[in-house]
Amino acid sequence: MRFLITAGPTREPIDPVRYLSNRSSGKMGYALAEAALGRGHEVVLISGPVNIPAPDGATVVRVETAQEMYDAVAERIGEAEVAIFCAAVADYRVAEVAGEKIKKTGETLTLTLIKNPDILGSARSVFGFTGLLIGFAAETEKLAEHATGKLLRKGCDLLVANDVSRSDIAFDRDENEVELFYRDGRHETLARASKREIAEGLVERVEELG
Is 35 exposed, middle or buried (CB count within 10 Å of its CB: 0-12, 13-18, 19+)?
buried
Q: Cite the beta strand spans of 48-131 per DSSP E.
A: 59-62, 82-85, 92-94, 113-115
Give CA–CA dist 204/200, Å, rounded: 6
Q: HSE of 4 in the Cβ direction (CA atoms, 13 Å)?
A: 24
Give CA–CA dist 91/113, Å, rounded: 9
* Binding region for ligand CTP (CB under 6 A) out of 112-120, 124-132, 162-170, 188-196: 112-120
* By the rule CB under 6 A, 145 interacts with ligand CTP: no
Give CA–CA dist 50/127, Å, rounded: 26
**Cα–Cα nearest to 134, from 205, 63, 192:** 205
Q: Binding string, 78-107, against ligand CTP, x = CB under 6 A? A: -------x-x-x-x----------------
* By the rule CB under 6 A, 118 interacts with ligand CTP: yes
Nearer to ligand CTP, 48 or 55 (CB): 48
* Binding region for ligand CTP (CB under 6 A) out of 15-23, 32-40, 45-53, 131-139: 131-139
Helix or strand or coil: residue 58? coil
| Shortest distance (Å) from residue 87 CB to ligand CTP | 5
| Shortest distance (Å) from residue 154 CB to ligand CTP | 7
Residues 54-73 that bind ligand CTP (CB under 6 A): 66
Report which residue type is found at 107.
E
Task: State the pairing for strand pair 132-139/158-163.
Answer: parallel
Binding residues for ligand CTP, total number by CB under 6 A = 15
Nearer to ligand CTP, 62 or 102 (CB): 62
> Could you confirm whether 22 is annotated as catalytic?
yes
The residue whose Cβ lies closest to ligand CTP is 119
Task: State the pairing for strand pair 2-7/92-94.
Answer: unpaired
Nearer to ligand CTP, 38 or 155 (CB): 155
Which residues are designated catalytic? 22
Contacting positions for ligand CTP (CB under 6 A): 6, 66, 85, 87, 89, 91, 116, 118-120, 135-138, 150
